A and B are shown apart, each in its own frame.
Chain A
Amino acid sequence: MKHFELSGSPNQISEHATHIYCPTLHGLNGRQADLAMVMPRLDNNRALFDTRTTEGGSYAGVLTCDPFGTADNFLRRLADHGYVGVSNWPSAILFQGHTKRMMASMPATPELEYAWLAGAQRHGFQSLAFFRSLEQGRAALSAGLQQLVLHPGLIPQTTGGPPDLLIASLRDLIEKLRHQVGDVDILLYEHVGLNEAVQATDVGADGAVTFIATP
């Protein structure tokens, strides 16, 4: 089982998990982390370089739809800084309805994020693509990405016993994507709203991504 830890801390949290450093998550809790994409708190991509050179094969949580800068220079700097992988977090995957249409005009869309990650792969980076729906998962696969993270969505709360319907729908979604492309690793984002009632093994995922809050 693969295990990643998503955090706003530049330091590796656990020795047993691959660290994803996303600076804009610093100080947020698990639910607020879902909204990091629409919190103009700092320059996330610039902050990735504020720390000492990264060691231990960390991933960078990248705002891939940054309208400024060029991907080539940015990716070169990431590599020089020691990052071995990139992930599309903060992400546009949770936008819906009017917000989704408005942000797409910028453009900030999951498809753009997957294209950016595919470009990073061509530069030698590993990639980890967050997605929330079957449509987004298929778009990520079509872009050539092979390591995906299923985000269960904005979950109000799961209480009162095992959420069987949710488990069944997540499992079904993962199986459909595996049916499309056999050689793919699909992980589960073990959202704080799930209260640990749904874990990667429950839905047949290849691993998990856990959010670690930092004060």
Chain B
Amino acid sequence: MTDQNNPFIFGAAVGSGLTALAVDRAGADFLLVLNAGRLRMRGASSLASYLPLRPANE
């Protein structure tokens, strides 16, 4: 997506493989894989990522 005329790079936060594929096809430069993303995909608030619900680094 980036080129000489566009100095910005674009990233997208994803919570599943499906959205990662969609973001890749849309031409994003990088993916953000966040603990919150997994929880958001399951319908919880981003704030749930603070809680001891899942290991954040796995």
Please state if A106 and B48 are interface contacts (CB–CB under 8 Å). Answer: yes
Q: CA A24 – CA B54 in complex, angstroms?
A: 11
Interface residues on A, range: 20 to 34
In B3-58, which residues have CB < 8 Å from any A CB?
35, 39, 42-45, 47-56
Q: Which residue of B lies closest to A40 (CB)?
A: B56
Residues of A within 8 A of B48 (CB): 67, 106
Please state if A68 and B52 are interface contacts (CB–CB under 8 Å). Answer: no
Please state if B55 and A38 are interface contacts (CB–CB under 8 Å). Answer: no
Residue of B43, B47, B49, B54 most packed against chain A (CB within 10 A) = B47
Please state if A37 and B52 are interface contacts (CB–CB under 8 Å). Answer: yes
Residues of B within 8 A of A103 (CB): 47, 50
Contact of B45 among A37, A44, A106 (CB under 8 A): A106
Residues of A within 8 A of B45 (CB): 67, 105-106
**Contact flag A41-B51 (CB < 8 Å), given A67-B44, A68-B44, A105-B45:** no
Interface residues of B (CB under 8 A from A): 35, 39, 42-45, 47-56
Closest 4 CB pairs of A and B: A40-B56, A24-B52, A44-B52, A67-B44
12 further A-B pairs in the complex, CB-CB below 8 A; given A39-B52, A42-B55, A44-B52: A40-B35, A41-B56, A42-B54, A44-B53, A66-B53, A67-B43, A67-B45, A67-B48, A90-B51, A105-B47, A108-B47, A108-B51
